[in-house]
A and B are shown apart, each in its own frame.
Chain A
Amino acid sequence: MIRTALAMSGLGGLVVAFFAVLGGMALITGSGVIVESGLRSSLEGSRLAAADVLVSAPQSVRGGEGGLPVGLPERAVVPASLIAELSQVAGVASAAGDVTFPAALVGAEAAATGDGHGWASAVLAGGAVLDGRAPRAAEEIVVSKTHAVRPGADVEVIAAGKRGTYRVTGVVDAPGLYFADRVALDLADRTAGQRAGTVDIVALRAAPGTDAGALAQAVRKRIGDGYEISTGSAKGDAESPGTAAARTLLIALPSSVGGLSLLIVGFVVGGGISLSITRQRRDLALLRAAGATPRQVRKLVAAQGMAAALAALIPGAAAGYLMAAHFGDLLVHVGMLPANMPLTYSPIPAVAAAPLLLGVVRVSAFATSISASRMPAVAAVRDSAGEPRTPSAVRYKSGLLIILASLLISSLPLFIRGEIAAVGPGVAALLSVIGLALAGPRLVQSATGLLARHLPARVPASVWLAVANTRGYALRTAGAVAALGMVVTLATSVALTHFTILQATADETAETLKADAAVTAPAYGGIPHGLLDDVRRTPGVTAAVATSTTVVASRSLAVGDDGDNLVSRTAMVLGPDAGELVDLGVGAGSLADLKGATIALDERAGEVGERYDLVLGDGAAVKARVVATYSRALGLGPVVLSRDLVAGHTTTGLDSTILVRTDGDRSGLERLTARWPGVDVAAGSPSPQAGETSAQLWINIAVLAVLLGYVLVSVANRLVATIASRGAELTAVKRLGSTPRQLTAMIRWEALIIALTASLAGLAMSVVPLLLLSVGFLGRPWPAGPLWVAPAAMATVCAVVWLAYELTARRLIRHA
């Protein structure tokens, strides 16, 4: 059976199916690796290497019924009372609290900046005192050997924003700055206020003879499931609170691009299988005539597809792992993945992807073969010429309906001005391509029919024949046009949509933030105390406002949010003084009331006076009162938090940026660095969303490029297979009196017609969504960003068509 199947299929069709499955396997395996890494990868290296078990608070909250967990990047703390409680657990040799806060020597090289901890942590970090002794008094400090400072020296340190002079009492063989334990708790703000009586982590050392795993179980038994209890390589997660957020990103990322990829894989694999079946319609018909049952024919077709698919699985999986590695590098590069969090490679993604691909192959083989297999045997032979067949009216009409639907979706940005509108053009583009694939044959017939009627009588025979062929073989032509058009549409729509929204966000941010300079202090983990006052006193500065960003999770705040599930987003933190520099287009209430547990909201999300349930970045559930509503939600997002609300719920407790307006003279600001070395002064005002948006942009573009490459290769494959099967047709034309030159000319004209039609159709499909998006977001009819992607995509399509035709047809014509 299989042998017959393979003998019949001819290599061409199988090669197309093979490459389609190979690419699909690579894409899905690659996505799988990313998801699995989100679930299982562990951070490289652990700071608290000498600790056996770490107890910390969970860094994520459940997203709601069936939703993904929402990662929380701000440190969630555990009560310090746990230290005493856990030291009583059998098998615990010692228990210590660990706190982390930004701490750096003033004026030190950037490489020397880092974190501060209590002295107890130095021991847990495996640090041995190389020289000197432990810090005991309030103004004593132990430095890492990388600081190149000797004991007895006085150093100026900014720790948790507080500037002070400390005497170095020792040098230790562990990274960071170490303070007396009580001092560290004080600096980390654990002696008063929101976080009084807490630590970040409780680190346990096991008594000799006690296994870390057993100890972890004993601890879990004692304190229950409310805490994260980590051992071994999982300790890294407890030490870096941002990891959980990175993990949720890894898990969520493929699911956001996954829909598009899966659709494309289905499109390409289905197309490949259907092409290989169409090529052998006549053979299948003869088989039916020779007595094969419809079921046998379907099985034969399925066997062919399966053979090609099975052969492609292993190389496809290999390519997928390779691709995931590159994608991981990109994620690290754009800052969405910690560099010390490697991807996990296990066979699971490939094993999961294989049945998925085989399923797609099976279904498309079945769908394509059903008409050929069901026909009465005699009719099958008569109908088996394949083409010209009349494209069905149902197919045509459903295609037109889908194109119409895509137009409706693409009008979304006119009504909704928010992140969700970005989905419109992408989905619209894809839908319209599917519509084009369905309605294509009829459209091609009418278009080329029109062309044929208006061709001047004196055109060369080769041109006339080329037009006649594209028209006569409308199904064949439309298949190529739709697939190639998809390349143009996706490249243009998706890329320009992202750039347009980025531009609109930047524009609105510029309108919102009336600052012309921004002061940051990344070396100190945030804005040190006193810097804001210094900035305000600086000559030339007319206004200065400190801000930060954090993450807040809430139920539906913007159109498109999943109603019942928590959605987390970056939000700006402002104080009551924000009105000086931040113009959100407040419609009701006032930013001056951003005191206490209050927020300002997008005016479409709520009203002044309402109370909102929010989950802050450390997982704390709070109720906040809306004191202002505003219209400019694109720049800063749909919610702004008051500083008082967020206080005690962030890792550093520091502002991240001072927005500054000057009278045009920034020289005073530039001189600030003399008193505050390591402080950055930049012109303009950064958008709190910008980093995230551009990272998202690059990820999307990378994914898009891979998908387009996949589509292009498979389209080229299909073209080659289609042309290669035209040997008999070319021989016939030649025998009827065509010179080789005329044959070549005919083929070239066909290639030109297909390339141009595909380019124009693809462009047309993306023009309307982009036009509507631009009007909605930018108030002008053309999108922002590199407009050259449209001609570039068209040129690529033309080049692929030209190559496929030229290389394949030349051989055919020589042998015709």
Chain B
Amino acid sequence: MNHVVTLTGVTKKYGELTALDDVSLGFPRGRFTAVMGPSGSGKSTLIQCAAALDTPTSGSVAIGGVDVGTLNETKRTELRRAHIGFVFQSYNLLPAITVEENLTLTLRLAGRKPDLAWIRMLVERVGLHDRLRHRPGELSGGQQQRAAIVRALAGRPDVLFADEPTGALDLRSASQVLDLLRSMVDDLGQTVVMVTHDPAAAARAHDALIMADGRLVDVLPAPSAEDLAARLTRLAGRPVAAAGGAL
């Protein structure tokens, strides 16, 4: 299968704590993948390593065929800007500049000319065309997150990572954001990887990866919210046992 990002034997330690324990997997192109797991299971660390925001303690991450481990901080940033879009739970819009300026910020940092027609299309799609001149602080949480998605997509990244994108949103806004992500995959062929702890959110994905104790423990294709909820409940109540699993 054609993988956008491949992780091989990735381990990440924070001091004594092992956040990722020898994880190998690939994210397939054009699909919507959800990463699930209880708190502390390593799901956020997984996509931060996959997105080259963080570096693994051992193992390798390849983005577009380039081994991230061989790059210095600057090269890694450049690689990220070229291939990856990232949506944070806390939006990460800069409060000092307007929404419009935020949308093109990453491109500006990369020294790339923004594709204005593309961005205008995205803005129309998320319904923010009348809020562009506002400061982020003047937008609702849902609007800010939609703006963050537009910014992540503005450079046409190979893959869009989203870390708990609905974590801070009310149900209605969360549902809008999930619709948006799904439609990007369906209509535009965008690859999306989303970390979430909400089974209902994960159920919108093509596949769900289940993490526990820094390991990948299960892969559920076309999951339903009920299956996922049940699977997670079992994980939460289980004794310490590692399930092997590969994709």
- Give me the interface of A with B, judged by CB distance under 8 Å: 385, 387-388, 460-461, 464-465, 468-469, 471-473, 729, 732-742
Q: How far is the CB of B170 from chain A (nearest CB, A)?
A: 15
Q: How far is the CB of B148 from chain A (nearest CB, A)?
A: 10
Tell me whether B109 and A742 are in contact (CB under 8 A): yes
Tell me whether B109 and A738 are in contact (CB under 8 A): yes
Tell me whether A732 and B92 are in contact (CB under 8 A): yes
The answer to whether B106 has its CB under 8 Å from any CB of chain A is yes
Tell me whether B95 and A736 are in contact (CB under 8 A): no
Interchain residue pairs A-B with the least CB separation, the first 10: A472-B96, A737-B106, A737-B81, A461-B108, A739-B74, A739-B77, A461-B109, A468-B97, A737-B109, A732-B92
**A/B interface sample: 19 pairs, CB < 8 A:** A388-B96, A461-B105, A461-B109, A461-B111, A465-B105, A468-B97, A471-B96, A472-B97, A732-B92, A733-B94, A735-B88, A736-B106, A737-B77, A737-B106, A737-B109, A738-B109, A739-B109, A740-B73, A741-B74
Q: Please judge, given known A-B contacts A473-B96, A738-B109, whether A388 and B80 are in contact too, CB under 8 Å.
A: no
* B151 surroundings in chain A (CB, below 8 A): 736
The answer to whether B32 has its CB under 8 Å from any CB of chain A is no
Q: How far is the CB of B163 from chain A (nearest CB, A)?
A: 10
Q: What separation, in Å, do the CA atoms of A460 and B112 have in the docked complex?
A: 11
Tell me whether B137 and A736 are in contact (CB under 8 A): no
Q: Please judge, given known A-B contacts A736-B106, A738-B77, A742-B109, whether A385 and B95 are in contact too, CB under 8 Å.
A: yes
Q: How far is the CB of B205 from chain A (nearest CB, A)?
A: 23
Tell me whether A468 and B96 are in contact (CB under 8 A): yes
Tell me whether B86 and A735 are in contact (CB under 8 A): yes
* A737 surroundings in chain B (CB, below 8 A): 77, 80-81, 105-106, 109-110
Q: How far is the CB of A692 from chain B (nearest CB, A)?
A: 54
Q: How far is the CB of B201 from chain A (nearest CB, A)?
A: 22
The answer to whether B53 has its CB under 8 Å from any CB of chain A is yes
The answer to whether B78 has its CB under 8 Å from any CB of chain A is yes
Give the residue of A464, A732, A735 whose beta carbon is less than 8 angstroms from that of B108. A464
The answer to whether B135 has its CB under 8 Å from any CB of chain A is yes
Q: Considering the complex, which residues of chain B in the window 111-133 have a beta carbon less than 8 Å from any beta carbon of chain A?
A: 111
Q: What separation, in Å, do the CA atoms of A670 and B109 have in the docked complex?
A: 79
Tell me whether A735 and B92 are in contact (CB under 8 A): yes
* A740 surroundings in chain B (CB, below 8 A): 73-74, 77
Q: How far is the CB of B195 from chain A (nearest CB, A)?
A: 15
Q: How far is the CB of A547 from chain B (nearest CB, A)?
A: 68
Q: How far is the CB of A441 from chain B (nearest CB, A)?
A: 13
- Give me the interface of B with A, judged by CB distance under 8 Å: 53, 73-74, 77-78, 80-81, 86, 88, 92, 94-97, 101, 105-106, 108-111, 135, 137, 151
Which residue of chain A is the closest to B102 with respect to CB atoms?
A736
Tell me whether B73 and A739 are in contact (CB under 8 A): yes
* A741 surroundings in chain B (CB, below 8 A): 74
Q: How far is the CB of B215 from chain A (nearest CB, A)?
A: 26
The winner among A461, A733, A739 for most chain B CB atoms within 10 A is A739
Q: What separation, in Å, do the CA atoms of A738 and B96 have in the docked complex?
A: 16
* B78 surroundings in chain A (CB, below 8 A): 739
Q: How far is the CB of A810 from chain B (nearest CB, A)?
A: 14
* B105 surroundings in chain A (CB, below 8 A): 461, 465, 736-737
Tell me whether B96 and A469 are in contact (CB under 8 A): yes
Which residue of chain B is the closest to A736 with respect to CB atoms?
B106
Q: What separation, in Å, do the CA atoms of A388 and B92 have in the docked complex?
A: 15
The winner among A460, A468, A473 for most chain B CB atoms within 10 A is A468
Q: How far is the CB of A56 from chain B (nearest CB, A)?
A: 72
Which residue of chain A is the closest to B101 with respect to CB atoms?
A468
Tell me whether A472 and B95 are in contact (CB under 8 A): yes
Which residue of chain A is the closest to B85 with respect to CB atoms?
A737
Q: What separation, in Å, do the CA atoms of A721 and B135 have in the docked complex?
A: 25
Q: What separation, in Å, do the CA atoms of A490 and B43 have in the docked complex?
A: 57
Q: Please judge, given known A-B contacts A461-B111, A464-B108, whether A735 and B53 are in contact too, CB under 8 Å.
A: yes
* A735 surroundings in chain B (CB, below 8 A): 53, 86, 88, 92
* A468 surroundings in chain B (CB, below 8 A): 94, 96-97, 101
Q: How far is the CB of B100 from chain A (nearest CB, A)?
A: 12
Q: How far is the CB of A533 from chain B (nearest CB, A)?
A: 83
The winner among B80, B96, B106, B151 for most chain A CB atoms within 10 A is B96
Q: What separation, in Å, do the CA atoms of A736 and B137 have in the docked complex?
A: 18
Q: What separation, in Å, do the CA atoms of A473 and B94 have in the docked complex?
A: 11
Q: What separation, in Å, do the CA atoms of A588 and B144 have in the docked complex?
A: 82
Which residue of chain A is the closest to B81 with respect to CB atoms?
A737
Q: What separation, in Å, do the CA atoms of A388 and B137 have in the docked complex?
A: 8
* A733 surroundings in chain B (CB, below 8 A): 94
9 further A-B contacts with Cβ under 8 Å, apart from A472-B97, A740-B77, are A468-B101, A472-B95, A732-B92, A732-B94, A733-B94, A736-B105, A737-B110, A739-B77, A740-B73
Q: What separation, in Å, do the CA atoms of A742 and B105 have in the docked complex?
A: 13
Which residue of chain A is the closest to B48 with respect to CB atoms?
A735
Q: How far is the CB of B88 from chain A (nearest CB, A)?
A: 7
Which residue of chain A is the closest to B95 with respect to CB atoms?
A388
* B135 surroundings in chain A (CB, below 8 A): 388, 472
Q: How far is the CB of B9 from chain A (nearest CB, A)?
A: 26
Q: What separation, in Å, do the CA atoms of A318 and B97 have in the docked complex?
A: 47
Q: What separation, in Å, do the CA atoms of A387 and B97 have in the docked complex?
A: 12
Q: What separation, in Å, do the CA atoms of A738 and B105 have in the docked complex?
A: 9
Tell me whether B109 and A385 are in contact (CB under 8 A): no
Q: What separation, in Å, do the CA atoms of A733 and B73 have in the docked complex?
A: 14
Q: What separation, in Å, do the CA atoms of A472 and B80 have in the docked complex?
A: 27
